[in-house]
Amino acid sequence: MSRCTDRRFENKLHHYELGMLSDDELREFEVHLLECDHCFRRAEKFKETARLLNTDADVRALIKEVDEAAELSPEPAARPRRPLRVFALPASLAAAAVLVFLVLKPWEIQIRPTSEAVAQENRLAVMYFENLADPTDSLRWGDIITNLLIADLSESHLVSVVSSQRLFDIARLLGKPDARVDDPATATEIARRAGARWMLTGSIAQMGPPAVVTAQVTEIASGEITGSFRAITDSTASIFALVDELTRRTKRALDLAITAAEEPDPPVMEVTTRSAEAYRYYLEGVDYQARLYGDKAARAFEKAVALDSTFAMAYYHLSALTDRTLIAKAVAHSGQAGRKEQYFIRSRAALISRNIGQALAVLEELVAQYPDEKEAWFMLGQVRQQMARLDEAVDDYDRATRIDPLYKQAYNALAYVNSARGDLTGALEAIDRYIELAPDEPNPYDTRGEICGRNGDLDGAIESFRRALAVDPDFAHALSYLGLMSLFKGDFVRADSCGMALAHKPDTNFSRAASLYLCMTPMMRGRPREAIAALDVVIKADSADVAAKGVPTKADYARALKALAYWELGRLDSAAAELDAARRFRLGTNAMAGEDRRHIYAQVLAQLGRIEDAATVVDTLEQEMGRGEGRPFGYWYAAGALALAEGRFDDAVVHFETAAGIRSAFEVRYWLIQAYLNAGKPEQALAELQKLMRIYESPRAFYGVWSVKLHYYLGMSWERLGDRDRAADEYRRFLEIWRDADPQLAVLDSARTALARTEIRP
């Protein structure tokens, strides 16, 4: 467009270039630049001036001289200056001196910046190589050559290469389905918006033998072609040699202040893979993963590692999709990955080993080195969210959406983190944006279902999960959560039908959990004996599958659920044995390992009267996980359980409150309620119960037997507060849900006695 449609932003253009906008103004303005051609082109005109200001020694000396003089001035200091966004120089009176200096200074300038400065300044966009030999590109040679070139050139310290993901995102903003554009004007516009100084374009004349690829380097500002060349190889088997040759020719065509010959240039197969076929499957997996088709992505990555057992990045993705232990292979072969990819591998390895601090440090370094890498910002947000640094996580996800306003996963994450912050409005705004971007995909409706459930809207959750399944009847996550919501609704028939449907989905992780879901129904109905029998079948079958097929397992979850069943029956020795078996099983196999439940194990020991054994577990948790205020959730939970068993109710309240402040898990809040009641604090118990009973999510379903007992404790709280009618209502509701429960459950007699007591009128 010829003019800016919003003059507010046009008037702020020079403030933006001088780094004078606030953080909020900056975020808003950068989104505007993506949408407004007029302002984008005006901002681009300052690039050469910015380059000169950053690199010319005389200009820098003058600025330093003026700044030092200003510092000696007796005049009162103004507010602290912000660093310049584009120029990276002080925004002071030096700016005026620089402008005069630029006018008077002759322009025969020799600029010799460092390699780091050159790389930031020398930005290259590698555009899609059109396959003229096969316009359909049925074997994806265009994708393979383009992405291999990006990987190879990215190893240079002299040039900053725009990632393929960034080019793809910009293309979508321009209304193109992907970055495979053959229109020179559109390709140039994509490269300009990516901030590139040069653009590498090319085409595949034939795939051989011999294979022939032509390419040219164009300077974006002038439109001048700085290099035109071609590469030939005997066959497609030598495609890596062809890419290496194109990389060397490209570097020579770039107007670099330091010659490319001065830096090492490893073969591209040393930073990717040695198999073109493996790389083809890898790109296919990346495409599927971006569209949230995890099963299809996993199969593609598995084919890639079958062809190349040293393919580090394929193992990296598989560690997130199937078996987390595969990260060890990614680490072992990370020497055959690019610099940026090594950051990703190291961060995931740290996360899997639960070294959250190291993961944070690696990701912070990654975004500092590659600030346009939206996935890095996304992962950083996930880490900070895991650390309960929710406001920072929101900023990270926002940064990712500023890089790519169409980044669906980031809006999905924003919905969850805003919900966790208690910002339901922000959560729904994010999910509405996600639905707007992907109305024909099931996942945004699935996310809305979870958000509704977590915020007390059970009917809204059920409707959203049904909507997701209407879009895609095979979307397993929505099917599983529809079953869980049906449990909360008391619709046990529908819950079981969802579980049975999950069991017939052999290509998903959910199918292996379907039998576990089916065991939750008898637990929710107060039938722990029935649940134990069903869980024995699950554990036996699951163990056989692991031994025969090496598939991911849910056995430790099944044993933990079985422990809860024994617990409810009063068989605490059996409960302790199952929890111990679950932990030993978890240590023996890392595949899809569940969480460490030692804090619950300590609680069962304490309730058994094995106080010393429970205290030993508490001490071990403290020694392993930290002391002082930094002690983690597991320690505080176990300490609270020990205090509760010993009758130190006020201490139990403090410990459980501390644990809940670290992680607001269902189980800790359940026992916090009992600590409040035992400590004579029914008001606090009531408040916590009313909040907890409005949260419908999977952990509450897992602890379904405790979930139903919330009605019993709610009745107890109302009774102690003197409201007999409300107390009687809750006791009745509890007994109605458990009308067919195992008769030996002690809580049933307690509830009947309490109901009779509250129904008696004075």
Predicted confidence (pLDDT) per residue in 244-275, tens digit: 999 988 988 887 655 555 667 788 988 899 99
Mean pLDDT (the chain) is 82
**What's the CA gap between 377 and 367, in Å, rounded?**
7
Percentage of the residues of the chain whose pLDDT score is greater than 90: 54
Question: Cβ distance 563 to 580 under 8 Å?
Answer: no
Residue 457 clears pLDDT 60, i.e. is over it: yes
Say what the pLDDT of residue 53 is: 44
**What's the CA gap between 724 and 754, in Å, rounded?**
10
**What's the CA gap between 64 and 605, in Å, rounded?**
69
pLDDT tens for 169-216 read: 888 888 887 767 778 889 999 999 989 999 999 999 988 778 899 999
Write out the H or E segment, with its range, that includes residue 305: helix 294-307
The two tokens of residue 718 are 């109302």
Q: Indicate the SS3 state at residue 134.
A: coil
Unique residue bearing structure tokens 């003229």: 132
The second-level CATH assignment, the architecture, of 117-265 is 3-Layer(aba) Sandwich (3.40)
The second-level CATH assignment, the architecture, of 277-337 is Alpha Horseshoe (1.25)
Say what the pLDDT of residue 258 is: 52
**Residue 631, amino acid:** R
**What's the CA gap between 167 and 123, in Å, rounded?**
13
Q: Which of 756, 666, 746, 752 is nearest to 710 (CA)?
A: 666
Between strands 211-219 and 225-233, the pairing is antiparallel
As a whole number, mean pLDDT of residues 536-540 equals 86
The domain ranges of the chain are 7-115, 117-265, 277-337, 508-594, 622-759
**Residue 77, amino acid:** A
CA–CA distances in Å: residue 276 to residues 121, 213, 540: 32, 16, 42
The residues that bridge with 219 in the sheet, in sequence order, are 198
Select the CATH number that applies to the domain covering 622-759 from these four: 3.60.20.10, 1.25.40.10, 3.30.70.1380, 2.40.110.10.
1.25.40.10
Question: Cβ distance 214 to 205 under 8 Å?
Answer: yes
As a whole number, mean pLDDT of residues 365-373 equals 92
Residue 572 clears pLDDT 90, i.e. is over it: yes
Domains 117-265 and 277-337 share a fold: no
Residue 52 clears pLDDT 60, i.e. is over it: no
Residue 36 clears pLDDT 90, i.e. is over it: no
